[in-house]
Chains A and B, each alone.
Chain A
Amino acid sequence: MSGVRAALARARYFVREFSGEAAYDRYVAHARAHDPAAEVLTRRAFERARTDSREADPREGFRCC
């Protein structure tokens, strides 16, 4: 049972990392690591900022032929 759970947790980890869903948690963890009371963006504001930064420099995240 614990083996199945571990496998599921692993799959979830890879899916979240690969799709970029984990980006917000990482951002919060990073901000809180320095100052546990740090003000962080809401998820909505963070995701907006993240997408909009691609607007500013489209070379980030460019896909090849």
Chain B
Amino acid sequence: MPEPEATGTERNTASPDTIPDSPPPTGGLSPKSVAAWVLVALIGAIGWGVLALSRGEEISAAWLLAAALGSYAIGYRFYARFISDRVLKVDKTRATPAERLDNGVDFHPTDRRVLFGHHFAAVAGAGPLVGPVLAAQMGYLPGTIWIVAGVIFAGAVQDMVTLFFSTRRDGRSLGQMARDEIGPVGGAAALIAVFAIMVILLAVLALVIVNALAHSPWGVFSIGMTIPIALFMGVYLRVLRPGRVTEVSVIGVALLLLAIVAGGWVAESSFASTFTLEKETLVVWMIVYGFIASVLPVWMLLAPRDYLSTFMKVGTIALMAVGVVLAMPTLKMPAVTDFAARGDGPVFAGSMFPFVFITIACGALSGFHSLVSSGTTPKMIQKETQVRVIGYGAMLTESFVAVMAIIAACIIEPGLFFAVNSPAGVIGTSVETASQAVTHFGFAISPEALAQAAKDVEETSLLSRTGGAPTFALGMSQIFSSVIGGAGMKAFWYHFAIMFEALFILTTVDAGTRVGRFMLQDTLGNVHKSFKDISWKPGVWLASAVVVGGWGYFLWVGVKDPLGGINQLFPLFGIANQLLAAVALAVCTTLLIKSGRLRWAWVTGVPLAWDVAVTLTASYQKIFSDDVKVGFFAQRDKYQTGIDAGKVLPPAKNMDEMHTVVTNATVDGALSALFALLIVIVLLDAARTCFKAISDPSSVRLSEVPWTESKIVAPAGLIPTAEERAELAAAGLDSGGGRTKEPVA
């Protein structure tokens, strides 16, 4: 079969009148589907009603699920379809890069159901499990509302629109699109943003793992074992049976489960002390691991670990969904806590606006997704019409993961939640001081109950295990043990959940370091040519060392900061992630305007405005707030004044710690200012481009690939409609779709 040739008329997409309307959805709604959608809307509305109206009494997590799932269904069916049909005008007759440039390897039309899986596995990681847990300190309601509304109107829209525009540009990356469509200044700012975010992201994720593994021989042993397991899988795939991913993954997962069980034995044996590590030791190991992993060949550690973590991720998330439905736990956390209004919560400081919207990035609106939506996925999509199911649909699924995380955090005793998530500077280091401090917050819990909770999961202590992973693991072990195995299995499920998060965080640490290094090499290559050569080892080592040094620094700081690591660094991570979302939404809005869709620019323009309002308010408060809990420079001033007066201010215990606080606050404050500056630069440059496109439409140059006729027949959604089934049958294809057969001459 010959390659499809670039035939067909070229359409000038810069003019709104010439954009072809895609065929309207099949002739309105039938009475049956009207009834079905009214029912879905009712389920969602009842869920929200119960969430909003319950005051004081504990309600079932089922209501939260009903509210979320009902809203997702409505958002997907109506809003996403409106965006694809009316705004983007996805064109079924237009060939995608996968079809035009098909090389059987990286460009190839992929079954939408498979691509949905790939895309979901690429976008969903530890992020949606961490943010919602931290945000639960304000109660389950603010977080849930933001997760659901945010994904429907912002996050999923961003993913879908980025995917669409990148598909029309042969899968160009977000950075390239920013440079091509906005300008070199905006493009450069976007590049710096991606690099800075990568460093902060890796530090925060590594900190989550360090906090979960400190003093936990069980956790350290089982996660340590993933390294030999991955090496074995790597050799298996490289040497023994190349490409046999399924069998090696099954072996790997079996070994992984064995490692979790064996962790329990180790924790009770005389080896326990060998695997009981201090946070500082773990940081050193993380840094050494991060460097070595990122300079080893991909096949040894990264690729096999990736298979393992993908298997675990998809499996555990499915298990979790089933577990929540079967166990139907009760939410113990209040709908809204006092911390929401007062903004003095111990998990992270600051009031509900803007900090809930910063803390929950992944799951509601995640800038990072735009890197996946504009990289690999557009090279594999069969049909433009599928951007809805893949871009919007996969993001809804991630949002659902975030909802499960918030459920996991809210079904455990609130007193336990705050004891686990408050830094030692606030609750002290014994169960007695913790019980006292948490009871003072208004969530009574006895010292015995705190000790028992740790004993149940066979950990020495659960106090100040900040970072979300241990809390999520506690919630998950509660759900799972109520379905399978009872209380005796709690410790296993807890460590299973820790393993599950640690696995993909370690993969991200490795892969993220490589991406950062690649960007650094590319930039340094402009100064010294050898750096561009990725096989030039000194360059690779140097660039890797710089990136590892960057996140390693913040990781070390996060462990040593007397004020607490997660509560200081997580807002920075959130701001950074939302900054990337601002870049992506600015690119999308600019492209909507440049491609003659000014009327619809609000679709990404409104989420952009919201995101910018949130991010800039948060940055402003982090820089200028007088409240020492919130403002970095206020912290700096307070502790500097203390140093000048020769006084040690708690929670610092000595002068060294006073100096640590001052240095950290200065660095964090400077970073907040840098992020805010980058947002403003990107926005100004985008506004300039948009203004020019509106005032002089003839000047618009779009780097869109011209229209080429598609010879692929494939359904738009996961399940083909009757009409699509007829088309597939006429072309002699199964439900996966594919190229139409060439007529025999």
Give bound CA distance, A31 to B1, whole Å: 11
User: B421 within 8 Å of A by Cβ?
Assistant: no
CB distance from B656 to the nearest CB of A (A): 33
**Could you say which residues of chain B place their CB within 8 Å of the CB of A48?**
238, 242, 299
CB < 8 Å neighbour of B302 from A19, A24, A54, A65: A54
Q: Are A44 and B242 in contact (CB under 8 A)?
A: yes
Question: Measured between alpha carbons, how far is A24 from B123 in the docked complex, in Å?
Answer: 25
Distance from B575 Cβ to chain A, minimum over Cβ atoms (Å):
14
A62 to B504, CA, bound (A): 12
Contact B376 A61 (CB under 8 A): yes
CB of B467 to closest CB in A, whole Å: 13
Within 8 A of B (CB), among A1-34: 14-21, 23-24, 26-27, 29-31, 33
Number of interface residues of A (CB under 8 A): 37
User: Which one of B100-108, B412-420, B453-461, B469-477 contacts A?
Assistant: B100-108
Find out whether the CB atom of A64 lies under 8 angstroms from the CB atom of B124. Answer: yes
Residues of chain A within 8 A of B514, CB atoms compared: 58
Provided the pairs A15-B246, A64-B369 are in contact, do residues A30 and B102 lie with their beta carbons within 8 angstroms? yes
- The interface stretch among B4-12, B87-95, B112-120, B626-634 is B112-120
CA distance A16 to B244 in the complex (A): 9
Interface residues of A in 31-65 (CB under 8 A from B): 31, 33, 43-44, 46-48, 50-65
When C-beta atoms are compared, the residue in chain B nearest to A32 turns out to be: B104
Q: How far is the CA of A9 from the CA of B271 in the complex (A)?
A: 47
Report B-chain residues with C-beta under 8 Å of the C-beta of A17. 110-111, 114
* Chain A residues closer than 8 Å to B103, beta-carbon distance: 30
Determine if B205 is an interface residue (Cβ-Cβ < 8 Å): yes
| B125 close to chain A: CB less than 8 A | yes
Interface residues on chain B, size class:
35 or more
Q: In chain B, what residue has the closest Cβ to A52?
A: B298
Contact with A along B232-272 (1 / 0, CB 8 A): 00000110001111100100000000000000000000000
Confirm or deny: B400 has a beta carbon within 8 angstroms of a beta carbon on chain A: no
Given contacts A23-B243, A31-B104, contact A62 B362 (CB under 8 A): no
Residues in chain B near residue A16, CB distance under 8 A: 246
Asked whether B534 is an interface residue with its Cβ less than 8 Å from the other chain, the reply is: yes
Q: What CA separation (Å) do A23 and B124 show in the bound complex? A: 23
**B104 and A27 form a contact (CB under 8 A):** yes
Is the CB–CB distance between B515 and A62 below 8 Å?
yes
The minimal Cβ–Cβ distance linking A37 to chain B, given in whole angstroms, is: 16
Complex: how many Å from CA A61 to CA B510?
A: 13
Closest to B504 in A: A63
> Is B242 a contact of A23 with CB atoms below 8 Å?
no
A58 with B515: CB separation less than 8 A: yes
Interface centre among B123, B243, B507, B518 (most CB of A within 10 A): B243
- Taking CB atoms, residues of chain A closer than 8 Å to B246 are 15-16, 19, 21
Chain A residue numbers with a CB within 8 Å of B309 are: 63
Contacts of A29 in B (CB 8 A): 104
Do residues A64 and B298 form an inter-chain contact, with CB atoms below 8 A? no
Contact partners of B299 in chain A: CB under 8 A: 48, 51-52
| CB-nearest residue of chain B to A30 | B104
Residues of A within 8 A of B302 (CB): 54
Closest to A57 in B: B518
Q: Which of A46, A61, A63 contacts B125 (CB 8 A)?
A: A63
Contact B298 A55 (CB under 8 A): yes
Known: A44-B242, A51-B303. A64 touches B106 (CB 8 A): no
| Chain A residues within an 8 Å CB radius of B518 | 57-59
- In the complex, which residues 104-142 of chain B have their Cβ closer than 8 Å to any Cβ of chain A? 104-106, 108, 110-111, 113-114, 117-118, 121-127
For B366, what are the chain A residues with a Cβ–Cβ distance below 8 Å? 64-65
Instruction: Indicate if the CB atoms of B105 and A23 lie closer than 8 Å.
Output: yes
User: What CA separation (Å) do A59 and B166 show in the bound complex?
Assistant: 15
Complex CA gap A64/B328 in Å reads 30
Q: Which of B106, B124, B243 sits near A47, CB closer than 8 Å?
A: B243
* Chain A residues, Cβ within 8 Å of B125: 63-65
Contact A20:B108 (CB < 8 A) given known A62-B372, A64-B368: no
B466 within 8 Å of A (CB atoms): no
**Contact of B201 with A by CB under 8 A:** yes
Partner of B362, one of A54, A60, A65: A65
Q: Is the CB–CB distance between A63 and B122 below 8 Å?
A: yes
Q: Please determine whether A19 and B307 come into contact, CB atoms closer than 8 angstroms.
A: yes
Residues of B within 8 A of A54 (CB): 298, 302-303
Asked whether, in the complex, the Cβ of B511 is within 8 Å of the Cβ of A51, the reply is no
Cβ of B173 within 8 Å of any chain A Cβ, yes or no, is yes
Residues of chain B contacted by A18 (CB below 8 angstroms)? 114, 117-118
Bound Cα distance from A50 to B117, whole angstroms: 20
Q: How far is the CA of A61 from the CA of B369 in the complex (A)?
A: 12
Complexed CA–CA distance, A34 and B106 (Å): 18
Whether B180 sits at the interface, judged by CB under 8 Å, is: no
Taken together as a complex, chains A and B put the C-alpha atoms of A18 and B110 apart, in Å, by: 10
Q: In whole Å, how far is B427's beta carbon from the nearest beta carbon of chain A?
A: 28
Q: Which of A31, A43, A64 contacts B372 (CB 8 A)?
A: A64
Complex alpha-carbon distance, A58 and B306, angstroms: 13
The residue on A at minimum CB distance from B249 is A19
CA distance A19 to B113 in the complex (A): 13
Which chain A residues border B124 with CB–CB below 8 Å?
64
Residue of B108, B245, B297, B504 near A21 (CB, 8 A) is B245
- Out of B108, B127, B237, name the residue touching A64 (CB < 8 Å): B127
User: How far, in angstroms, from A41 to B377 measured CA to CA in the complex?
Assistant: 25
Residues of A within 8 A of B346 (CB): none
Nearest CB in chain A to that of B296: its residue: A55
Q: Does B371 contact A (CB under 8 A)?
A: yes
For A63, the chain B residues whose CB sits under 8 A away are 121-122, 125, 306, 309, 504, 507-508, 511
Chain A residue numbers with a CB within 8 Å of B122 are 61-64
Q: A58-B515, A64-B369 are in contact. Are A26 and B126 (CB under 8 A)?
A: no
Least Cβ–Cβ distance between B402 and chain A, in angstroms: 12
Task: Tell whether, in the assembled complex, residue B113 and residue A14 are in contact, meaning their CB atoms are under 8 Å apart.
Answer: yes
**Residue from B1, B105, B366, B577 with most neighbouring chain A CB atoms (10 Å):** B105
Instruction: State A2–B254 Cα separation when bound (angstroms).
Output: 31
Do the beta carbons of B376 and A60 come within 8 Å of each other?
yes
Contact B242 A47 (CB under 8 A): yes
Complex CA distance for A15 and B307, rounded to whole angstroms: 12
Contacts of A20 in B (CB 8 A): 243, 245
A selection of 20 A-B contacts at a CB cut-off of 8 Å is: A17-B114, A18-B117, A26-B104, A29-B104, A43-B243, A47-B243, A48-B238, A48-B299, A51-B297, A52-B297, A54-B303, A56-B534, A58-B298, A58-B517, A62-B122, A63-B125, A64-B122, A64-B123, A65-B205, A65-B577
Other CB < 8 Å A-B pairs besides A30-B105, A58-B298, 7 of them?
Answer: A18-B114, A21-B245, A24-B243, A44-B242, A54-B303, A63-B508, A64-B127
> Which 5 A-B pairs rank lowest in CB-CB distance, beginning with the nearest?
A30-B104, A58-B514, A65-B127, A47-B242, A19-B245
A residues neighboring B (CB under 8 Å)? 14-21, 23-24, 26-27, 29-31, 33, 43-44, 46-48, 50-65
